[in-house]
Amino acid sequence: MTDWIEFAAALSVFFASHLLPARPGVREPLIGLLGRRAYFAAYGVVSLLVLAWLIAAAARAPFVELWPQTPAVRWVPNCTAPVVWMLVAQGFGLPWPWTLGGKRRMPFDPERPGLAALSRHPLLIALMLWSAAHTLTNGDLAHVIMFGSFFGLSVAAIPMFDRRARRALPPAERETALRAAPLFSLRPLVDPHWLKQNEEHILPRLLAAAALWALALALHQTVVGVSPLPM
């Protein structure tokens, strides 16, 4: 019972640490007090510590099997990993201010959307894919709750960020900007003009995605205690 209480507490703190700063009147005063850079640095450290606690608490929770783990199911996160890491590599410094990892102080130019032409929410979609794949792979109650919570949080964040974008964009530019930065599209990859505009960004992001994927494979068993590869 104590382990379930710890898991519930960790999950509650995880949600509070993400939802409370998003409330109006909470984040901006803290940024004013600490400065933008210090605030986001502190927020990142706290988020990582809370996430580590939640993962450890889920591992310590009593094992309640909902469905069995099989080698076939364990292929799911491995098959989605290339897409997940490409979205992660795309997402940092995205020229769409109204998303996780977006450049906050850069005005969006629909004529030059950059990597936002592939997705305006790449980090959130990556979190959705990663959490859904790991929910299937981990069939015990605690991990289904944890990864399902990650999935639900990422799904809920997309319309929240889109509402911010619609409020911030001038009405005459709103639909043009949203069309230039779709939720997800592969069409730019066959557009010679877009490829030419973004050629200096594409290769470094692909290399970063490959490096992140290799690092995740190498460290998964050490950090999580389970090999990511089907046995």
Q: For residue 112, what are the CA distances in angstroms to 161, 177, 187, 193?
A: 21, 10, 15, 10
Cα 45 from chain centre: 16
Q: With 0-12 CB in 10 A as exposed, 13-18 as middle and 19+ as buried, what is 63?
A: exposed
Range with the largest mean pLDDT of 30-34, 151-155, 222-226: 151-155
State the Cα–Cα distance between residues 168 and 161, nearest whole angstrom. Answer: 11
State the Cα–Cα distance between residues 204 and 104, nearest whole angstrom. Answer: 22
Three-class secondary structure of residue 113 per DSSP: coil
Q: What is the pLDDT of residues 180-227, one digit of tens each?
A: 999 999 999 999 999 999 999 999 999 999 999 999 999 888 878 788
pLDDT band at 24 (very low <50, low <70, confident <90, very high): low
Three-class secondary structure of residue 18 per DSSP: helix
* Domain limits, the chain: 1-62, 65-224
- Token reading at 1: 């019972």
Contacts of 24 (CB under 8 A, 6+ apart): none
Phi-psi region of 101 (alpha: psi -120 to 50; beta: other; left: phi over 0): left
C-beta of residue 213 within 8 angstroms of C-beta of residue 85:
yes
pTM: 0.90
Q: State yes or no: pLDDT of 231 exceeds 70.
A: no
C-beta of residue 136 within 8 angstroms of C-beta of residue 127:
no
Average pLDDT over residues 27-48: 80
